[in-house]
Homo-oligomer: A and B are copies of this chain.
Amino acid sequence: MDDISPIRAKSGTNQEGTSAHNRRVMIEALRLNGALSRADLARATQLTKQAVSNIIEDLESDGLVVALDAVRKGRGQPSTPYRLVPEGAFAIGLHIDRHLTRAVAVDLMGSVLARAEANLPFDEPSKGVEIILELIAGVRRDLAGISVQSEKRLVGLGVAMPGPFGLKDSDDKWMMPAWQKFPLLEALAKGTGLNVGLQNDAAACATAERIVGAAHGVDHAVCLYVGYGIGAGLILNGELYSGGHGNAGEIGMALLAPAGPGSTPLEHRASLASLYQHLDLNPADSDIYEQMNALVQAEDAKMMAWIDGAAHDLRWSVHLIETIFDPQTVILTSGAPEALARRLVEAMHPLLPSIADRPARMLPRLQLGTTDPWSIALGAAAAPISRAFDPLFSAILKTRSAPA
């Protein structure tokens, strides 16, 4: 009756694992390269033409890929390129923020097919969950109107919300204490009947940049997300890294100096929360976005001062990230209006000299990512799709079957 074996070991694999991996590799190759012929795929994946042919045939009959018109390109038989079918899979993404929640439905390619948003009561998760379930149901209905097969092809629900998760009880107003304690995932799984996964908002942002943005196909990238708080989404070795307890990248609590008066959490200086405070804005205002935009356009003195201050600390953050992670690029994204984010990035230049100042860079040290407020929900939705279709180590291994 000892329920957990004390033996520690990785799981082995078999032909199912092989086959699953190869399918995923095909799908990823088509996602990254657009459309490829079987011969192209065989060369790219190191598999034989025959193996590729079999897999593609499978994927085609599963409705995940489709053949395009044959193309002639020099000698030899014309090749038939295949591309992914967007309607091959769908996922729901949910972004929960302090005062607002957004839900989207996306397809296999990461296109947003339906979206909806609603206000959230900051301190009443049980009421909030009802609102959220309603929101998700609405998005699912819209999706069903677009594709008849949507329900059958729905791979899961991805949730993104501000971290960190699983700490000691905390009443820090910067976090969402009531939500941290609520059994959210269970409630959502029960209410939707879907597989539910959770990540923090910065991680979702990084995932979004990875599928449709500046990090597309980049294996080592860090995505700084300046939202109500500030966090970093980590793409390491081509996969999202979430740490030992799902809290990796929660850089907002990093201290700006070892001690003394300058020893402030980054979040208190470079986040929209600090901006709201600095400018005496109310984050619950529905036109908060327009207010910020107007202040930036008008080059309001207090706004400019905040930008300079935040840029100062962000410049340091980028240096730190480069020093610690050695990424190919750093991407700054934000829930703020694009004009503000752009100003911020401009104010961060020139960047501090760092290890990233290398002779032959392919990508800029710092890029402006998307400022679309829906991108976090998009990234959240991408997580279940990635789990289902990307070539992951874990996808090769045999899964522990439930005991009798």
Contact = CB atoms under 8 A, between A and B. Distances in A.
A33 B249 CA distance: 32
A40 interface: yes
Nearest to A315: B258
Interface residues of A, number: 83
Contacts of A255: 316, 319-320, 352
Contacts of A301: none
Given A22-B12, A359-B168, A354 B398 contact: no
A115 interface: no
Contacts of A21: 12-13, 396
Nearest to A319: B255
Interface string A224-257: 0000000010001100011111111111011111
A148 interface: no
Interface stretch (A97-105, A122-130, A324-332, A373-381): A324-332
Contact of A244 (B45, B168, B220, B253): B220
A348 B277 CA distance: 34
Contact of A10 (B5, B45, B254): B45
Contacts of A391: 10
Contacts of A328: 244
Interface string A14-34: 110110011001001100110
A219 interface: yes
B7 A29 contact: yes
A342 interface: no
B326 A246 contact: yes
11 contacts: A7-B33, A7-B43, A9-B28, A12-B25, A168-B357, A243-B327, A255-B316, A255-B319, A257-B262, A259-B312, A393-B393
Given A8-B29, A250-B324, A257-B316, 13 more contacts: A9-B28, A9-B32, A14-B51, A164-B355, A167-B358, A236-B236, A242-B326, A244-B326, A248-B326, A250-B326, A257-B262, A258-B312, A396-B396
